[in-house]
Amino acid sequence: MIELIDVEKRFGGVAAVEGISLRVPSGKVCALVGTSGCGKSTTLRMINRLIAHDGGEIRLDGQPIDSVDPVQLRRRIGYVIQHTGLFPHWRVARNIALVPRLLRWPKERIEARVAELMALLGLSFDELAHKYPHELSGGQAQRVGVARALAGDPDILLMDEPFGALDPLTREKLQEEVARLQSSLHKTIVFVTHDMDEALRLADHLVIMRAGRIVQQGSPLALLRAPEDPFVESLLGGLERGLKQAALMRVRDHMGSLGPSLPSASRISIDASLRQGLSIMLRDHAERLTVVDGKDVPVGELSLRRLIKETQWEQPTSP
Amino acid sequence: MGTANVAVKSRAAPLQWRWPLVWASLLALCVLGMPHLEALFRLFEPDARQVVYTRASFATLLWRHLSVVAVAALAGIVFGVLAGIAVTRKRGRDFMPLVAQLASLGQTFPPVAVLALAVPAIGFGTWPIIMALLLYGLLPIVRNTLSGLLGVDAEVKTAARAMGMTPWQVLISVELPLAMPIILAGVRTSVTINIATAALGATVGASNLGDPIIAGIINNNTAYIVQGAVVIALLALTVDSLFDMLQQRLKTSRSAA
Ligand SMILES: Nc1ncnc2c1ncn2[C@@H]1O[C@H](COP(=O)(O)OP(=O)(O)OP(=O)(O)O)[C@@H](O)[C@H]1O
Ligand SMILES: [Mg+2]
């Protein structure tokens, strides 16, 4: 668990971040979102003591980070840096092996770990292990960056705009992969992003920052349902907020049982999002969709009328 | 290739020995064969009593010349690189302008003047010339060490710290290797200049390849001057091509990024 309690950082008298309090339970993903220069990277870097905080307290699993040697602390925390920061004079395999080597793992274990991570991140060992970073594509370099951060098997992972410099398709692919990895690895993750869709997609807990302060935090759905001020609302997509919200809701949770009326010819998978459902309704001019399971067997119905009537759309969930 | 060869050996390109070998052979031929070239040098000085410098063998002179340059270069590397490292650390930053200025001062101060000042203080012989060469050659080493270390990508250094490398590990495994091509270029400049400058040692009793030149000037014997100059030039070319070979190797064995 990561806890920040009223944390503050000043650069030459000017506060870069102030009054930051947040809690990320073990195994959860927290996203820091905000405009450029609002203190996201600073907040992230205080967690592994790359930057010393000036006020408040930061605890990992209850232990204040000041009580741990920074070098030891950092070896326990994975870090994915903006623009990868791979060592240009080391090959891919050695870059990934960095933290295990610092931790003095036996050679065989390191080798196995590098091969395992490269496979996990979809990097071909034979093709890439012996390349230098400048010989990689942007997407490959980012994957290597993530592999390097995971190599020491840290419980905590900090990621600073991990997919910042990628094209939208590669970016989405990597997001999916990180989501998939997270569902099996259960790391405690704090990541920074400019991309609200990325934050909504990956985060359990969303923190919106402005000018060094937290404006609002909570689950993505809670924020979408009840943004507390216009800034948060505009970050959350303004008029598109409804669709972003729908993207986070699943057909499974909002379908009704098959009615007596004739089933609709338009179909949607039970695992799809409501956003996809709405899109199909618009495309097919259908007010109702037949929900099918993995074997294409109808299991329910998604009705626009019912969706609109559902109270959950507008009201915040009570805590 | 099934398992991860993590301790990746650098698959460096083979060293390109061609030019160093060419220049070194010419140098060896010249040094060992000088007595046999009498007929050639006779052309320069038909009337001189002697046309090949013989007060000491060229091999001996070459060895002395090389030792002086090597000692000065080693000292220059130790001082220069250490100073460069020291002022790029957090605690030494304040001294950076001072060190850069001192190093430029060393180079603007003519080696002859250093000799003139050093001889009364420490006497004739090898030490004054080593001191002069050290001061003269320090600037390129310090300057390149500074620009090499300052040029290391901040993102890479942050990543190194973030992964849990100690400051010492960051310096040894990241900063120095990445700065090495530039540092090496500085050492190359320094050594090449000093091979020529070392000849001045002959004026203060440090016998080396400058001897034939000085003797030639005093006795008005062009042949002597040519012999000293040619051997010094060949030595400079040999050493310079060795550095070039090392730099090429560095370039091919790591990223250009
Ligand atoms: N080392 C530093 N010295 C002085 N000021 C700094 C330093 N690092 C950051 N700042 C300032 O602190 C503020 C927050 O910076 P930070 O890097 O945390 O922003 P960010 O939210 O990560 O921005 P971006 O999205 O552009 O990466 C900025 O105003 C920045 O200028
Ligand atoms: Mg940032």
Long-range CB contact pairs, B87-92, < 8 A, 24+: B87/B146, B88/B146, B88/B149, B88/B150, B88/B175, B89/B167
For residue B171, give the nearest of B184, B156, B185, B186 by alpha carbon. Answer: B156
Domain that holds residue B94: 2-256
Q: Do B6 and A48 touch (CB under 8 A)?
A: no
Domain that holds residue A176: 2-243
Return the DSSP state at A263.
P
Give the ranges where B123-165 is alpha helix by DSSP (H).
126-150, 154-162
Note whether A19 and A147 are same-domain residues.
yes
In chain A, % of residues over pLDDT 90: 57
For residue A274, give the nearest of A298, A239, A308, A297 by alpha carbon. Answer: A308
Domain termination site, one of A197, A222, A243:
A243
DSSP letters, A183-226, are HHH--EEEEEES-HHHHHHH-SEEEEEETTEEEEEE-HHHHHH-
The ligand 1 atom nearest the CA atom of A40: 21
Question: How far lies B253's CA from each of B8, B178, B249, in Å?
Answer: 12, 12, 6
Strand, coil or helix: A38: coil
pLDDT in tens, A121-139: 889 999 999 999 999 998 8
Mean pLDDT for B199-221 is: 89
Let me know if B6 is exposed, middle or buried by CB neighbors in 10 A (0-12, 13-18, 19+): buried
CATH code of the domain in which B127 resides: 1.10.3720.10
Strand, coil or helix: A5: strand
pLDDT in the model for residue A311: 57
Note whether A23 and A66 are same-domain residues.
yes
pLDDT in the model for residue A10: 95
CATH code of the domain in which A6 resides: 3.40.50.300
| β-pair type (A288-292, A77-80) | unpaired
pLDDT band for B78, please (50, 70, 90 cuts). Answer: very high
Is the Cβ atom of A16 under 6 angstroms away from ligand 1?
Answer: yes
CB distance A278 to A250 below 8 Å: no
pLDDT band for B12, please (50, 70, 90 cuts). Answer: low
Long-range CB contact pairs, B200-205, < 8 A, 24+: B200/B111, B200/B112, B200/B115, B200/B129, B200/B132, B201/B65, B201/B68, B201/B126, B201/B128, B201/B129, B203/B115, B204/B115, B204/B118, B204/B119, B204/B124, B204/B125, B204/B128, B204/B129, B205/B124, B205/B125
Residue B129 has pLDDT above 60, yes or no: yes
Nearest to A111 among B3, B159, B162 (CB): B3
pLDDT band for A51, please (50, 70, 90 cuts). Answer: very high
Ligand 1 centre and the CA of A34: distance in Å?
12
Domain count for chain A: 2
pLDDT in tens, A220-273: 988 888 888 898 888 888 778 888 888 888 888 888 888 777 778 888 998 898
Neighbours of A304 (CB within 10 A): 15
Q: What length does chain B have? A: 257
Return the DSSP state at A82.
T
Residue A114 has pLDDT above 90, yes or no: yes
Note whether A79 and A138 are same-domain residues.
yes
pLDDT in the model for residue B254: 61
Note whether A30 and A142 are same-domain residues.
yes
| Cα angle B106, B107, B109; round to 5 | 70
pLDDT in the model for residue B125: 84
Neighbours of A116 (CB within 10 A): 15
Residue A93 has pLDDT above 70, yes or no: yes
Smallest Cα distance from B11 to chain A, Å: 10
Domain count for chain B: 1
Residue A38 has pLDDT above 80, yes or no: yes
pLDDT in tens, A133-167: 999 998 899 999 999 999 999 999 999 998 877 88
Strand, coil or helix: A48: coil
Q: Do A93 and B255 touch (CB under 8 A)?
A: no
Q: Mean of the per-residue pLDDT values for chain A?
A: 90
Ligand 1 centre and the CA of B72: distance in Å?
46
Is the Cβ atom of A209 under 6 angstroms away from ligand 1?
Answer: no
End-to-end CA distance of chain A: 21
Residue A61 has pLDDT above 70, yes or no: yes
Flag whether residue A140 sits within 8 Å of chain B, measured between CB atoms. Answer: no
Closest CA in chain A for residue B161 = A50
The pTM assigned to this predicted structure is 0.84
Domain termination site, one of A193, A211, A243:
A243
Note whether A282 and A134 are same-domain residues.
no
For residue B181, give the nearest of A27, A188, A38, A89 by alpha carbon. Answer: A89
Domain termination site, one of A208, A226, A243:
A243
Note whether A128 and A256 are same-domain residues.
no
CATH code of the domain in which A285 resides: 3.10.580.10
pLDDT in tens, B148-206: 999 999 999 999 999 999 999 999 999 999 999 999 999 999 999 999 999 888 888 88
Q: Which residue has the higher pLDDT, A248 or A4?
A: A4
Note whether A199 and A293 are same-domain residues.
no
Bridge partners (DSSP) listed for residue A300: A291
Distance CA B133, CA B201 (A): 10
For residue A94, give the nearest of A147, A163, A166 by alpha carbon. Answer: A147
Q: Mean of the per-residue pLDDT values for chain B?
A: 87
Q: Whose CA is nearest to atom 12 of ligand 1?
A: A16
Q: What are phi and psi of A229, to 5 degrees?
A: -150, 170
pLDDT in the model for residue A84: 81
Residue A125 falls within a domain, yes or no? Answer: yes
pLDDT in the model for residue B5: 45
| β-pair type (A29-34, A188-193) | parallel
Note whether A88 and A169 are same-domain residues.
yes
Residue A107 has pLDDT above 90, yes or no: yes
Residue A319 falls within a domain, yes or no? Answer: no
Flag whether residue B7 sits within 8 Å of chain A, measured between CB atoms. Answer: yes
CB distance A163 to A174 below 8 Å: yes
Among A64-68, A161-165, B142-146, B236-240, the range scoring the smallest mean pLDDT is A161-165
| β-pair type (A205-210, A29-34) | parallel
| Cα angle B54, B56, B59; round to 5 | 105
DSSP letters, B187-230, are HHHHHHHHHHHGGGGGGGT--STHHHHHHHHHHT-HHHHHHHHH
